[in-house]
């Protein structure tokens, strides 16, 4: 597996990371825990060194899973986690709303350290911007955790370019995590240029469009009630039918390259900047190996131009989040 550096930081990670959320949260059915531990260790054996979790996922169960699975190989991996929501540690439930008060950040970090069974968190993201707390105070709280040796690098998830600049002025931001793929390209408007200017790495989540860009989902696919996609407008049957044209594009390029649509989607992301590291999630070994294979796939300038031209003619239909969640992004 190739490695990449997240911007100007000394954080070197595998070119393809692994998003761990779906191993215990949001997507039905929730897989067997022992199987997921085996999958995480299989990922390390295949060269993956970058693992993404959060206290919200479960809540708490995903950090515990990742911590147990990666304990034997702790010195070989980079673990990223996130703070920023009101969670009940006793009932293990999401109380709703964001919370990035400095005291809350420090409590959350201490709890994450224990669940992950680590001495220091490699990369700690603010999960969503909290409009009630100036980002300078958030950056200052994380800076204190870094100075105390409890956190190594600071990250932001779904921030605006302005928020990135303000945070970076207080504490260097190593990485920004936001949704980015061929069917969600908003980061290209202002965020990518800001990251390039400041020397910050970019970690796209949902790089396969929550599974849609794999070609395994069509207008007849059904989702369980607790599956987030059942509430996402972009996954309404009529929108899936309209958005199929994007998958057809990926499938056509994949046939030419003797690859899969997923691999083409990931290779496209890797080709955008050398400091981009996507973190596709999966619960299956075959999909993990398929995703890893994208790191060795090169798209020529002509192929990338062909994809750009074709994608520009496909207007993606439907919002990427339910309205109540979309309000938490891009602040």
CA distance 320 to 302: 29
φ/ψ (deg, to 5) at 140: -65, -40
Q: How high is the pLDDT of residue 325? A: 79
CA distance 312 to 51: 32
CA distance 146 to 172: 11
Q: Write down the architecture of domain 3-210+273-297 according to CATH.
A: Alpha-Beta Barrel (3.20)
pLDDT in tens, 311-320: 999 999 999 9
pLDDT in tens, 74-128: 999 999 999 999 999 999 999 999 999 999 999 999 999 999 999 999 999 999 9
- Which residues, 6+ apart, have CB-to-CB distance to 119 below 8 Å? 113, 149
Collapsing DSSP states into helix, strand and coil, what is residue 128? coil
Q: How high is the pLDDT of residue 327? A: 66
Q: One of 57, 125, 180, 321 is an active-site residue; which one? A: 57
User: Of all residues in the chain, what percent carry a pLDDT higher than 90?
Assistant: 93
Q: How high is the pLDDT of residue 257? A: 97
Q: What is the mean pLDDT of the chain?
A: 96
Q: How high is the pLDDT of residue 326? A: 73
Tell me whether residue 125 is one of the annotated catalytic residues. no
- Record the pTM: 0.97
């Amino acid at each position: 597996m190739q490695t990449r550096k997240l911007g100007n930081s000394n954080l070197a990670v595998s070119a393809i990371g692994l998003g761990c959320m779906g191993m215990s949260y949001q997507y039905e059915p929730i897989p067997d825990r022992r199987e997921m531990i085996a999958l995480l260790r299989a990922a390390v054996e295949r060269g993956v060194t970058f693992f993404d979790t959060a206290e919200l996922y479960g809540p708490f169960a995903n950090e515990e899973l990742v911590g147990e699975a990666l304990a034997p190989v702790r010195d070989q991996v980079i673990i990223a986690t996130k703070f920023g929501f009101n969670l009940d540690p006793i009932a293990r439930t999401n109380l709703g709303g964001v919370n990035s008060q400095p005291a809350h950040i420090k409590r959350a970090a201490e709890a994450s350290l224990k669940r992950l069974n680590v001495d220091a968190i490699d990369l700690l993201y603010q999960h969503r911007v909290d409009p009630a707390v100036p980002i300078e105070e958030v950056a200052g709280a994380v800076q204190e955790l870094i100075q105390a040796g409890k956190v190594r690098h600071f990250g932001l998830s779904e921030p605006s370019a302005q928020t990135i600049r303000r945070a970076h002025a207080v504490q260097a931001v190593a990485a920004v995590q936001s949704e980015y793929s061929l069917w969600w390209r908003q980061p290209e408007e202002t965020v990518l240029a800001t990251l390039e200017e400041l020397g910050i790495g970019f970690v796209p989540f949902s790089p396969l469009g929550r599974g849609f860009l794999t070609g395994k989902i069509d207008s007849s696919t059904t989702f369980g009630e607790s599956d987030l996609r059942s509430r996402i407008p972009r996954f309404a049957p009529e929108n899936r039918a309209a958005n199929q044209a994007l998958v057809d594009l990926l499938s056509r390029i994949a046939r030419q390259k003797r690859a899969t649509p997923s691999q083409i989607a990931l290779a496209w992301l890797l080709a955008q900047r050398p400091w981009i590291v996507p973190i596709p999630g999966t619960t299956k070994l075959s999909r993990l190996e398929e995703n890893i294979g994208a790191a060795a796939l090169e798209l020529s300038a002509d192929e990338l131009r062909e994809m750009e031209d074709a994608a520009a003619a496909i207007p993606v239909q439907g919002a990427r989040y339910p309205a109540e969640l979309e309000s938490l992004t891009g602040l």
